Amino acid sequence: MFSIQYQGTSTLMQKAINRYLKQFFLFGQSTVGSSLTLTLTVQDESGSLYLGVDESYTLTASSSGASLNSTTVFGAMKGLETFSQLLDWSSPSSTYLLSRLPLQISDAPRFPWRGLLIDSSRHFLPVSAIKRQIDALSYTKLNTLHWHITDAQSFPIYSASYPNLSAKGAYAPSAIYSTAEVQDIISYGYERGVRVVPEFDIPGHAASWGASDPALVVNCTKYNHNINNIPLDPTKEHTYEVLSGFLNEMSKMFLDAVHVGGDEIVFGCWESDPAVSSWMKQHGMTTGVELAQYFEDRLFNSVLPSTKQIVVWQDLFDNGVQIPNNTIIQVWSDVADLKTVTSSGFKGLISAGWYLNEQVPVPGSTHGDFMDTWMDFYLNEPTNGLTPEEASLVLGGEGCIWGEHVDGLVLDAMVWPRTVAIAERLWSSVDVTSTTQAKPRIQEMSCRLQQRGIGSAPLLPGFCLVP
């Protein structure tokens, strides 16, 4: 019979071991040829999860035994996942076979930030659907869930300080995440080595803030035909009071980073509002970019908690808005923009070329089958064209599944298995580029995800045996 020998004291590690003992033997058998023991050793059992945490591990195995050694609990989790993928179920003998023996694997990710963005504003996503994504992230060795919580369409998160934001800004009372549910999602991610990074998109895409308090947003009739055009009103002290109270309340729940958007601000909306335009003239401003600079200065200097790593979309940088140089900039428009960001000394994330909802995620590369876009994702190398110094500032990247046409029923199949291609690109060496060799790996991983309860779509014709 198979067993794991762990003599440490980490409850977090023991929970992971218990989970994987179930994942190892989904078909109800616990025999791996003859009896085998996996000895697991973790040097640092503190369990601190943060950007850049050591996720390396060493795994050795032979017919007489196996050992897994890591610096942290989170590295050990990655090693357990690798071990699970070495176990092959044999239907004829009703046993598991540990293949490719003897083996020695020394493994570590290439980038520290490897994630997926989900959008719960355009469509409310049930907690169960979010947890499935966290599970799948852990199975594919991704480590960040970027939770785009608020946008123009709805405000689905409860705030004790400002309960009307969700009471009047959400689609329905049942489409609101309670504080307990948010904490549960964060804890669920932590136990699986997945950081949950919230995004509250401001100052643009802010119509849902105004549902409960119209004074928070700008009334620009010229642009109101598109709900995405409506921004916060940066000229009112009330705006900053609400933002400070809300963002500080939210930041206490999340681990180490907060995303505050900054994308697609419709400057014309500010400029065409008589009250805002008058305020701008009184303060010597003539353009929306200047007002955006004022807003971001207030946001960074007096609103945002100093203990959090702040992330923004590239639009602020593109528009010449000055932001602190320790801000992480997420590039979504063009892969080439990552060079501009990093050559300016900013740390960057790449999402350009990894939009899972787009028919043509990489301009000029089209496929007859939507599922085949995984090849574009796989070949989208973040460091192409960068100098070594610029490449050192690339923290990683995220696949993005925007929610205009995605709800909890279709989420899994829209994300998986194509995101496996992104996961491999962010983990593996830069010279691992063969889509021919990757295809069977991704198809196998898609079946493994299905076996573990994720609604991953098939990449190729075939059959997946599900327990």
> Which residues are part of the catalytic machinery?
264
- The sign one gets for the Cα dihedral 90, 94, 96, 99 is negative
SS3 71: strand
From the list 73, 56, 59, the residue with the least C-alpha distance to 16 is: 73
Query: What are the angstrom distances between the C-alpha of 461 and each of 130, 440, 458, 465?
Result: 28, 11, 7, 13
- What is the 3 state secondary structure string of 167-233? HHHCCCHHHCECHHHHHHHHHHHHCCCCEEEEEEEECCCCHHHHCCCHHHECCCCCCCCCHHHCCEC
From the list 363, 397, 372, the residue with the least C-alpha distance to 383 is: 397
Angle 206-201-320 (CA atoms, 0-180°, nearest 5)? 100
Angle 447-451-456 (CA atoms, 0-180°, nearest 5)? 50
The two tokens of residue 340 are: 């501009």
SS3 2: strand
Which residues touch 108 (CB under 8 Å, ≥6 apart)?
Answer: 55, 56, 57, 75
From CA 377, how far away is CA 435, in angstroms rounded? 10
Q: In what order do the strands lie in the sheet with 103-107?
A: 2-6, 36-44, 65-72, 57-62, 103-107
Which residues touch 418 (CB under 8 Å, ≥6 apart)?
Answer: 356, 371, 373, 374, 377, 399
The two tokens of residue 437 are: 């060799």
Query: What are the angstrom distances between the C-alpha of 249 and each of 121, 184, 244, 245?
Result: 19, 16, 8, 6
From the list 143, 78, 152, 134, the residue with the least C-alpha distance to 114 is: 143
Over its C-alpha atoms, the chain yields an Rg (Å, rounded) of 23
Contact 191, 197 (CB under 8 A): no
